[in-house]
Amino acid sequence: MTGVTTTQETARARRGPEAFALHLGEMLLAMGLGMLVLGGAIEGGLALAGASLSDAPESLAAGTMAVTMTVPMVWWMHHRGHPVRHNVEMAASMVVPTAVVIGLSSLGTIAAGGVMALQHGAMIPAMVAVMLLRYEHYSR
């Protein structure tokens, strides 16, 4: 029968995009929690020492932000059974754009006030690009 799909075929067709979106959502949630929990712990520790990341150069704050987002994301991927290779690729999708933005800032190409915005604007698309390159993996 042409044009008619079974429930099983429909479920199979939806599995890919839904699984992909679920994984992306999980990664974004892990990153957000990392910023909140790890970032909060770092700020708390600095406050005890009489300092704050808001007083630090924006490049240091951006590097710290990348770590607080990447560590829980990779931990969650490991917990969910993703292979190490994919965890490393996903971590690179966060760290490489951050390093590029910090490098451009140190060269004076980017104003210091734009580092964090550009970092986040580059990290998420880089993460999605890695996921799209491995669509078969992230859509199951």
pLDDT at 116 over 70: yes
- pLDDT digit string (tens) for 39-58? 999 999 999 999 999 888 88
In a domain? residue 1: no
pTM for the full predicted model: 0.82
Rounded Cα–Cα distance for residues 82 and 44 (Å)? 32
Q: Which residue has the higher pLDDT, 113 or 35?
A: 35
Question: Using CA atoms, how far apart are residues 57 and 36, in angstroms rounded to an integer?
Answer: 20
CA distance 53 to 65: 10
| pLDDT of 76 | 96
Q: Tell me whether residue 30 is in a domain.
A: yes
Instruction: Please give the Cα distance from 21 to 39 (Å, whole number).
Output: 26
Rounded to the nearest 10°, the torsion over CA 69, 75, 78, 82 is -10
Inside any domain, residue 108: yes
Give the residue among 75, 79, 93, 76 at the shortest CA–CA distance from 131.
93
| pLDDT of res. 15 | 79
At residue 92 the predicted structure's pLDDT band, cuts being 50, 70 and 90, is very high
Query: Does the residue 9 lie in any domain?
Result: no
Does some domain include residue 2? no
Domain of residue 45, residue span: 14-138
Domain count within the chain = 1
| E strand residue ranges, 32-128 | none
Q: 11-15, 29-33, 49-53 — which is least confidently predicted?
A: 11-15
Q: What is the pLDDT of residues 102-111, one digit of tens each?
A: 999 999 998 8
Domain membership of residue 42 (yes or no) is yes
Angle at 74 between CA 102 and CA 98, to 5 degrees: 10
Looking at 2-6, 80-84, 96-100, which range is the least confident one?
2-6
Q: Is 7 part of any domain?
A: no
Within-domain flag for 8: no
Sign of CA dihedral 136, 138, 139, 140: positive
Rounded CA-CA distance 12/89 in Å is 27
